[in-house]
Structure 1
Amino acid sequence: MEMTKATGFDESERNAVYRAIRERRDVRRGFLPEPIPNELLHRLLEAAHNAPSVGLMQPWRFIVVRELAVRQKVHQIFLDANKQALASYEGEKQQSYAGMKLEGILEAPQNLCIVCDSQSSQGHQLGRRTMPETAIYSAVCAIQNLWLAARAEGIGVGWVSILEPTLLREALKIPGHITPVAYLCLGYVDAFATDPDLERAGWETRTPLKSVLSLDEYDSRWDQGRPAS
């Protein structure tokens, strides 16, 4: 088996990796009409396909969504789910929610649905007998790979989770044994925000690393509703 020497990347390469992680954003606005070239889309999907997976099961499946009529169906599913979500809030929180843009389904020239085949025989159940949910976790690793590669390529990605899964299955003809994991909007954008949209909108603030870090055992302060300060 061919091996490579276990050395780190040089400084510029390390900086690029950490920059992609630091500057990755969930993009909902500012998509440009220019389509993503097929060779670039392939690179992004290849990056996703190189993600780690338990038992080497590679449970992810990629549904590229380009047809406007299909995206319109998905957009309507979002509108209905978003209306229900809005009704679940009250007062200032409801007003704040109503003012946020939470998808770019029609604006982005490219949509992508990533689903997971948790029952796939590939991998021979290695690592899944005690934790079957690791199949979904593996698919999420693929999503993160794609997201970081997209940022490095100057492509915006927005994850739309305000969708009723059953209706999304119907719109994309996803069979019952397959789990929809992420519906993404992809495309070139006019700019990347310096801070996450939800933070700039005052919806939530990020917590420092020290508040979610413990040594040797679970920190009971985490059960008080927020990470420990």
Structure 2
Amino acid sequence: MKTRNLLGGVIVAAAMALGLIACSNAVKDPKYERNPNPRQKYVVTAKVDGAPGPFRVATASVQYKIGPSQTCMPPAEPISGTFPTPDREVVSLPVRKVAESEFQFDVYLDGMVAKDYFGRGVCTWEIEGVTLSLKPTGAKGERRFATTIDMPDATGLKPVIMYARREKYGAPVSDVYDEVERSMEVPHATALYGSDPSKFFAITFSAKESGHDR
């Protein structure tokens, strides 16, 4: 009987401890707010050169991150050291097809609302990355060609050229790890796949500040 009571006490104590850890920093699913009237706009153009065929489907997104300081967020868990609250928000962006192999979308620096979400001070936002995904037809199971550029490239005045393998266009997808072909800058592409330029097609990104609209 004493053994049973002791075991029961241990189980209850463990459950209480886990409950305290799970609830210690409160908000795990904050309702981050998008800015309904953003004004700091950049128009990003992506031009595809040398692909074996067309891309009929294009999607884009921007990932915002709380920063440069995260002191406005609940602190990390004392035991695990991890943050229980997400510090990023992904926003889908409408894509315009301006030519057969040219796409445009708008990125706003002020796309998220700076606000005191946790009662610890105002959280400000910065862009962590912008992603463009292309598919030949959009058919189910078709490989996606994805390119991610960071904040300086998404808002810079100098074009950025990324490369993807031509052989992957229209080729069967072998497994879940083969569903996405990630384009990369030439030093990384040639280091992985060789320096023969005929192996690749290019996606050139350029950005232009559009001033304060709306």
Is TM-score (shorter-chain normalized) higher than 0.5?
A: no
Structure showing the higher helix proportion among its residues: 1
**Max radius of gyration: which structure?**
2
For normalisation by structure 1, the TM-score amounts to: 0.27
Which protein has the bigger strand share?
2
- Structure with more relative contact order (C-alpha pairs < 8 Å, separation 6 or more): 1
